[in-house]
């Protein structure tokens, strides 16, 4: 018997930030990735989620992908899709803290480390942000350096800057 709650399906489509990859299980979204190199991104995704299958032309899945693409275009619009978050306990603590950063606001890596009760783990917080499979939905792009500067982003600093611009952050 096939357990559809653990089966991961994915689809790609063009977006304002390059090719968008959306993946979901029966429980919710597991990944939202974007890149100018669709092949490399898909390989990275399949390495992280082996056994994931293309969704094909499933109209319900296409509707979810379209909804996610609209959210990427306008992150202030919100997204009401359920999530199936997969990571270590530490990563999940960091990602839950990121969910408290409102659109148009930012926090530093140190702020997040303090919020999760681990002020000495700034580098580990940055690594958890880099490992976040649900870009934009779990808003790692809202995390900046302590001086307010924009630093590394898994998908490139220019994409981070563009997401912040779309949210009204100067």
| Entry field: residues in the chain | 170
Q: What is the pLDDT of residues 94-145, one digit of tens each?
A: 999 999 999 999 999 999 999 999 999 999 999 999 999 999 999 999 999 9
Burial 8-26 (b: 16+ CB within 10 A, else e): bbbbbeebebbbbbbbbbe
Element spanning 46, H or E: helix 38-48
Catalytic residue among 52, 140, 143, 163: 140
Q: Are 70 and 77 in contact (CB under 8 A)?
A: yes
pTM of the model: 0.89
Q: Are 32 and 69 in contact (CB under 8 A)?
A: no
Confidence of residue 168 (pLDDT cuts 50, 70, 90): confident
Distance CA 129, CA 51 (A): 24
Instruction: Write down the residue that tokens 């000495």 correspond to.
Output: 120
Mean pLDDT value across residues 7-25: 95
Residue that wins the pLDDT comparison between 154 and 87: 87
* Known catalytic residue at 129: no
Note the pLDDT of residue 170.
Answer: 62
């Amino acid at each position: 018997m096939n357990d559809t709650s653990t089966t991961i399906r994915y689809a790609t489509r063009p977006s304002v930030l390059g090719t968008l990859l959306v993946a979901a299980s029966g429980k919710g979204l597991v990944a939202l990735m974007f890149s100018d190199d669709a092949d490399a991104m898909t390989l990275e995704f399949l390495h992280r989620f082996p056994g994931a299958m293309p969704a094909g032309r499933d109209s319900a899945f296409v509707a979810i992908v379209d909804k996610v693409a609209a959210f990427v275009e306008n992150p202030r619009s919100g997204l009401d899709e359920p999530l199936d978050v997969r990571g270590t306990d530490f990563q999940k603590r960091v990602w839950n803290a990121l969910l408290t950063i409102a659109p148009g606001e930012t926090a530093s890596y140190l702020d997040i480390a303090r919020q999760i009760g681990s002020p000495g783990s700034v580098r580990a917080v940055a690594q958890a942000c880099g490992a976040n499979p649900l870009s934009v939905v779990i808003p790692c792009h809202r995390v900046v350096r302590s001086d307010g500067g924009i630093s590394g982003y898994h998908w490139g600093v220019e994409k981070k800057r563009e997401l912040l611009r779309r949210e009204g952050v100067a």
